[in-house]
Amino acid sequence: MNSAAVVLITSKVTKSLHTNIENNYKTYHLWEQPDQEAFLKQHGHEITAVATSAVYGASAELMSALPNLKIVVSYGVGFDALDINYAKQHGITITNTPDVLNNCVADTALALLLDVARYISYSDRFIRSGQWKSRSVKLGHKIGNKTCGIVGLGRIGKAIAKRAEAFDMKIAYYGRHQQSDVNYDYYNDLQALAKASDFLVLALPATSETNHIINKQVLTALGAKGFLINIARGSVVDEQALVTALQEGVIAGAGLDVFEHEPNTPKELWEMDNVVMTPHIGSSTYETREAMSDLVFANLHSFLEGKGAITPVV
């Protein structure tokens, strides 16, 4: 055990990650403290590292209560719940878990796309409710030769594109810059990409600049035959505008793994047959979660041993 390091775990983590941290470092569990403010006042000066998640994050308030904090290791690829500016200003290293979850998140995107296009979840409910005995199921939509517009062609976006290509889809993308290593059609105007797309797939990070980037105008451009697929973050979509667009037939449907106010979801969507919802399960496989846990611990251990972080954000 490294007696010099004290790790604060902010919320429940995987069993393997918890075991690795506890076996190597003195550890506190923030979520178990009945009075977290009092706990931090008493023990905050001891803590040199924080283990958290992309959901729970690490606020400036939390980090400021830990005067000897050196590193925050986060379980997840997104860092919108982590106060990056505070960390930069105070020399605190922040890490995430990129790459190890790319494939599973991309799989989820294609699963949602296929499901909503071909009415898979709807068809399952159709059989279970006994409707097949009295009428025919709704016709779905072919995805081959359709355009998959990807908003954010990073690691996950490229993994989505690879899978969509296997279904004979045409790939186009929107981003801050055109990328030289791909031959996909590039759009520097999001509404133009939406208009050209049959399926608009969101794989961009959540930042102040991308908040509600998918708004009424973009949804209108996507049009009555277009589908929205979101495996990014709920905040990138104006959720009320999306609800209205679906209610009014402005777009054809949506596949959603993330929501603006998780775990709350708009009740208007619950009864829509052209909407498929999953509870933020993009990377939720045993294999990926273990790989993420291993990378969180590897970042923590490497940094505390003086070798630097493996996947630093800052």
**Active-site residue set:** 233, 262, 280
User: What's the number of CA atoms in the CB half-sphere (13 Å) around residue 78?
Assistant: 23
In this structure, what token pair is assigned to residue 150?
A: 């990807």
Crossing angle of helices 120-128 and 102-118, rounded to 10°: 60
- 278 close to 257: Cβ distance less than 8 angstroms: yes
- 50 close to 8: Cβ distance less than 8 angstroms: yes
- Whole-angstrom distance, CA of residue 292 vs CA of residue 95: 12
- Whole-angstrom distance, CA of residue 163 vs CA of residue 106: 8
Give the dihedral sign, CA 201/207/212/213: negative
- Whole-angstrom distance, CA of residue 8 vs CA of residue 75: 14
- Whole-angstrom distance, CA of residue 311 vs CA of residue 98: 7
- Whole-angstrom distance, CA of residue 72 vs CA of residue 51: 6
> In the 8-state DSSP scheme, what is residue 176?
S
- 201 close to 190: Cβ distance less than 8 angstroms: no
Give SS3 for 21: helix
DSSP string, 240-286: HHHHHHHHTTSSSEEEES--TBTTB--GGGTT-TTEEE-SS-TT-SH
